Amino acid sequence: MGTSVTRIHASLLAAASAIALASCASQPSEPNGPVDQIADEKAGPDKNGVVVTGQLMADGRAEAKRADRPREAQAGQGYAYLAPPPPPPSAMPSQPYAQTAIQPRPGDIDRENYKNVEINPVKLVSEDPVSTFSIDVDTASYSNVRRMLNAGALPPKDAVRIEELINYFDYDYALPKSKDTPFETTVTVTPSPWSTGRQLMHIGVQGYDISRDSRPPLNLTLLIDVSGSMSSDDKLPLAIKSLKMLVDQMSEKDRISIAVYAGAAGTVLEPTADKEKIRAALDRLSAGGSTAGGEGLRLAYNLAKQNFSKNSVNRVMLLTDGDFNVGINNPEQLEDFVGRERESGVYLSVLGFGTGNYNDLLMQKLAQSGNGMASYIDNLNEARKVLSDDLSGSMFSIANDVKIQVEFNPAKVAEYRLIGYETRLLNREDFNNDKVDNDKVDAGEIGAGTSVTAIYEFTPVGSDARLIDPSRYKPQPVSATNSGEFAFLKLRYKTPGADKSKLVDRPITEKDAVSDIAKAPEATRFATSVAAYGEMLRGDPYLDKAFTWDSVIDLANGAKGKDEFGYRAEFIQLARLAKTAASQQPLKPIGGRVGGQ
Neighbouring residues of 554: CB distance < 8 A, sequence distance ≥ 6: none
| pLDDT at residue 583 in the model | 59
- In the chain, which stretches have pLDDT less than 70? 1-109, 264, 289-293, 325-331, 433-441, 475-481, 582-597
For residues 323 and 293, what is the distance between their CA atoms, to the nearest angstrom? Answer: 8
DSSP 61-109: -----STT----B-TTSS-B--PPPPPPGGG--SSPP-TTPPPPPTTSS
For residues 221 and 322, what is the distance between their CA atoms, to the nearest angstrom? Answer: 18
Instruction: Enumerate the H helices of 151-292 as residue ranges.
Output: 162-166, 236-248, 275-283
| pLDDT at residue 122 in the model | 98
| pLDDT at residue 586 in the model | 55
Q: First and final CA of the chain: distance in angstroms?
A: 34
| pLDDT at residue 288 in the model | 79
| pLDDT at residue 440 in the model | 56
CA 246, 251, 253, 256: dihedral to nearest 10 degrees?
20
- Going by C-alpha positions, the residue among 402, 491, 481, 437 that lies closest to residue 185 is 491
Parts of the chain belonging to CATH 3.40.50.410 = 218-395
Neighbouring residues of 84: CB distance < 8 A, sequence distance ≥ 6: 71
The three-class DSSP label of residue 263 is coil
Q: pTM for this one?
A: 0.80
- Is there a contact between 319 and 353 (Cβ–Cβ < 8 Å)? yes
Q: Which fold has domain 218-395?
A: Rossmann fold (3.40.50)
The dihedrals phi and psi of 152, each to the nearest 5 degrees, come to 95, 15
| pLDDT at residue 245 in the model | 95
Q: 34-50 burial by CB neighbour count: b if 16+ within 10 A, else e?
A: eebeeeeeeeeeeeeeb
| pLDDT at residue 211 in the model | 81
For residues 374 and 445, what is the distance between their CA atoms, to the nearest angstrom? Answer: 11
CA dist 50 to 57, 246, 249, 277, 306, Å?
Answer: 17, 19, 20, 6, 19
Parts of the chain belonging to CATH 2.60.40.1230 = 123-210+397-469+480-580
For residues 352 and 233, what is the distance between their CA atoms, to the nearest angstrom? Answer: 14
For residues 32 and 435, what is the distance between their CA atoms, to the nearest angstrom? Answer: 59
The fourth-level CATH superfamily of domain 123-210+397-469+480-580 is: Gamma-adaptin ear (GAE) domain (2.60.40.1230)
Q: Is 263 left (phi over 0), alpha (psi -120 to 50) or beta?
A: alpha
pLDDT tens-digit profile of 510-554? 999 999 999 999 999 999 999 999 999 999 999 999 999 999 999
